[in-house]
Amino acid sequence: MSIERIWKDQLYQEFARIGKCLSSPKRLELLDMLSQGPKSVEQLAKITGMSVANVSQHLQTLHESRLVRSQKQGNFVIYGIAEISVADFMVSLHRLSEKQLVEVQKLKSEILLNHVSIEPIALEELLERMDRGEVLLLDVRPEDEYATGHIPGAISIPMEELEKHLASLPVDKEIVAYCRGPYCLMSAQAVEILKSKGIRASRLEEGVHEWKRFVELSNMSTKEDT
């Protein structure tokens, strides 16, 4: 066996470590949640409906593959993605799966059937209208996720606090709500609440990481044109 063959076998064996680690649906969900911001084991257990023990086991596997990092804060262990490329990978995985798998497309359609009256707004249109001062962008994720990163110009009102803050929202602008991305329904629920109170509202399907990619691609396109 040639040295080159041995090298390639070893290389793809290492690549397979990541693939094997990502073969669990629950570990993919944990990476999605951690892409929004650092969280404790207990927070992740509450979000995913798993036991603390199961979450810890999955996180250990992700840690061994160097996809997440951890640190102690008092009595809690806080986990986060190892680097931003992990979040980028998850966005790519979502888009590839939706493009190639009709089952994903069907599941997405079924989920959104309950929110047929909610028209999504395109990211490009949103940014243009924000520049003109026509809309207010509302981030309905938890405050800690907003603090980790958000779309510039967005204000934070977590979903569970929305009804308490309705009176503070402007009546002369359309409200655009967003959350964790295409498969998060908090923004759709927020729009339903806003519309029920007579407030003009729509949903941004993309989240923070999709927005970052959009900006990067736009900047690349601008440089190529010049």
Has residue 72 been placed in a domain? Answer: yes
Catalytic residues: 179
Question: What is the domain-level CATH number for residue 19?
Answer: 1.10.10.10
| Residue 17 to residue 121: CA distance in whole angstroms | 39
Out of 72, 87, 102, a domain closes at: 87
Verify that 45 and 120 share a domain, yes or no.
Answer: no
What domain range is 22 assigned to? 3-87
Has residue 225 been placed in a domain? Answer: no
CB atoms within 10 A of CB 167: 8
Residue ranges of E strands in the chain: 39-40, 68-73, 76-81, 120-121, 135-139, 155-156, 174-178, 201-204
Q: Please state, rounded to an integer, the average pLDDT across all residues of the chain.
A: 92
CB 208 within 8 A of CB 137: no
Has residue 100 been placed in a domain? Answer: no
| Residue 58 to residue 187: CA distance in whole angstroms | 28
pTM: 0.88
Verify that 75 and 127 share a domain, yes or no.
Answer: no
Verify that 12 and 53 share a domain, yes or no.
Answer: yes
Instruction: For 80-119, write each residue's pLDDT tens digit.
Output: 999 999 999 999 999 999 999 999 999 988 877 776 567 7
Q: Rg for the chain (alpha carbons), in Å?
A: 20
pLDDT score of 38: 97
Q: How confident is the model at residue 166 (pLDDT cuts 50, 70, 90)?
A: very high
| Residue 113 to residue 128: CA distance in whole angstroms | 28
Out of 53, 87, 121, a domain closes at: 87
Has residue 11 been placed in a domain? Answer: yes
Has residue 17 been placed in a domain? Answer: yes
Question: What is the domain-level CATH number for residue 167?
Answer: 3.40.250.10
pLDDT-wise least confident of 99-103, 146-150, 181-185: 181-185
CB 145 within 8 A of CB 44: no
Residue whose entry in the numeric block shows the structure tokens 């084991």? 41
Has residue 222 been placed in a domain? Answer: no
Q: Which of 19-33, 107-121, 170-184 has the highest mean pLDDT?
A: 19-33
pLDDT-wise least confident of 83-87, 89-93, 192-196, 218-222: 218-222
Number of compact structural domains in the chain? 2
